[in-house]
Amino acid sequence: MSIDIVAVRRDLHAMPEVGLDLPLTQAYLLDRLVESGIELTLGTAMSSVTAVVRGGRVDRSNPSQVPTVLVRSDMDALPVAEDTGLDWASGNGAMHACGHDAHMAIVLAAALETQERRADLTGDVIFFFQPGEEGHGGAKLALEEGLLGVSGARPVAALGLHVLAHLLGAGEFASREGAVLSGSTLVDVTITGSGGHGSSPHLARSPLTAAAEAVGAVGIAASHGVSMFEPAAVVFGALRAGEARNVIPDNASLSGVIRSFSEDTDARLQSIVRRTVDGVAHAHGVEAEVVLTQDTVPTVSNGIELDRLDAIAAGVGTSVTRLQQPIGISEDFSWILREVPGVFLLVGARTSDESHLPSNHSARATFSDDVLAPTRDLIVAWVQGRLTDPTRTVH
């Protein structure tokens, strides 16, 4: 069963849904998958769709040893009001501003084509459509629901992809061995003091003053606590306290993010944040509560799997550019790559050669339809090629 991949992408773009519960998106995918006869499993904690293609050239005497690979697409949109002016733009206050509509169209088309070719497959393929990538923990939920065992055999390799509205040239594929994207740990700090009149600060204990000092102190401590050769950052994006200029509030809060490219560095920065905030609070005579939530780990491509993908790409007339350095954004496919060796593939989807195009997550972000079919073809080729070499790669 073939589909018009551009029409599918535009359909999905016009009907974005946010979070873990995406009933319209799930129904749209199911309408096209059910007809093909692909084996389907639906999520319980979220509206995920897992499609398993069973290869025809497989010894199934030991089901747990059947060569299996996994391809993942995210499904969710962002709570962004679209401002692109496209004919197929969303009008419901949400937007596929990160290109997940393109991912779904690509992976859906790859799944349907792989199903048509299943008689020649030497293994099984899991095509996983995941809600909740945008900060809702969808990948971790999927692992808890048994994603890696859904076909009966644990995958030997995994492939994820992401289109970019800027950074890469149109149609360029890119990745790198090691960290491709950063991990992220969410930082939430609540500081409790004792409010009072602005004319008598000595009679109060200002949580706002402590919070403001903590922002700078954490930045200094982090810069001295991590090697200059290890990229990392702690950035606070929100400080909330008070409502009147002459009233010292009782409470203040900080929200920020730790980003790094190794789990060891993240652990060190978490310790620095806790220690520094506690020290500032003690100096100001206030109380501080620090909550650290590991949203993602670094997204890491396995070098052997990347070489395999590049060799397969050469067979379909393309290649995978090696990034010189990782990118400081985060992705929850990282949790899957922590369990299964694989590759996170970046796809350049620029719509022009302008130097300052809107980036992913912008209300004006646009993604080229021209990359859809070539990316589908690469995924289909990777599935076939990787299953011909079912060796399990060691992390």
Residues with active-site annotation: 74, 134
Q: What is the spatial distance between Cα 236 and Cα 216, in angstroms, rounded to a whole number?
A: 10
The β-bridge partners of 361 are none
- What is the identity of the amino acid at 307? D
